Amino acid sequence: MTNCLRFALTPGEPAGIGPDLCLLLATQRQAHALICIASSALLKARAVELGLTISLIETAPGNWPQQPAPAGSLYVWDTPLGQPVTTGKLDKANAAYVLQTLTRAGQGCLDGDFAGLITAPVHKGIINDAGIAFSGHTEFLADLTHTEQVVMMLATHGLRVALVTTHLPLKEVADAITEERLQRVTRILHADLRDKFGIAAPRILVCGLNPHAGEGGHLGREEIDIIEPALQRLRGEGIDLIGPLPADTLFTPKHLEHCDAVLAMYHDQGLPVLKYKGFGAAVNVTLGLPIVRTSVDHGTALDLAGSGRIDCGSLQVALETAYEMAQGSRKLQATSHK
């Protein structure tokens, strides 16, 4: 299969549902070769719990597959656990294992072994309990790839929402909205929509910060003093921006059908709409990295691990999005080399 690419798949917290998701995906043939970077012993034990018959095909650097695994099988780059896993029970002895899977995957992308990385959820708390400073996948991969600025974007079918600020208390959001930050985030969003999604001329809708986008300054001046000047400078660079628009009316068909992404000022301005539209079928995308990285939009669900009562819809969308981004990047490279 000449168009087959390789992607790294990390199962995240070993006691959670990540290993279950990887095994469930393996019941069907995928469009590209997925390399699950995980403990083979963990996957075998979890398959027994789930009543699944999955053939694990060992692979490693120097022996990469050239085609997707058959349905009912999974490529595995065996990565040893610190301790055997009890399903549903966290163990800080396996924190280093989780980070080793991410390091192998991220470095493999940098080295060109993988076209992208798809991550299942980790448990930040247990990694910190092990004495390892860890604030999340995004920050870890930014450090690994020496990336100064990344942007969080969630996507589902028909809607992409990127964030100017992410996990901040609401009282700190207004002070964090600066012209510099807004310009930096918008440039990254525009560049990745073009370079990784293959959108030649992205159109971005921008939310205002205040109700009614400030209502001409009567409900706040951030739109007048900060947001609009930043957008004007960016328009001068050729970026197609509409806004700032009131967030309560921006998320309507007449606006969304003519845009490629929405830029929201803060977490709970844009993501509730997206999660309502795509609950269970949304994906978290890290923009700004030199590699393709997508992730599920849910947590480790320790109580569901090993139960079989899970839906791998979000992981499937994460896979499809990673495929789309990798192929968009390749098309751009091919065009630039002509």
Known binding positions for a divalent metal cation: 167, 212, 267
d(CA 258, CA 18): 36
Q: C-alpha distances in angstroms, 99 versus 65, 173, 182? A: 24, 31, 31
Q: Three-class SS of residue 40?
A: helix
CB 250 within 8 A of CB 205: yes
Q: C-alpha distances in angstroms, 197 versus 46, 190, 215, 237, 331? A: 35, 10, 34, 20, 10
d(CA 62, CA 113): 9
d(CA 95, CA 74): 24
Q: Tokens for 97?
A: 């294992």
Neighbours of 59 (CB within 10 A): 18
For the annotated binding site for substrate, the residues are 137-138, 275, 284, 293
For the annotated binding site, the residues are 137-138, 167, 212, 267, 275, 284, 293
Sheet holding 240-245, edge to edge: 55-58, 73-78, 33-38, 6-10, 116-119, 293-296, 283-287, 151-156, 159-163, 261-264, 203-207, 240-245
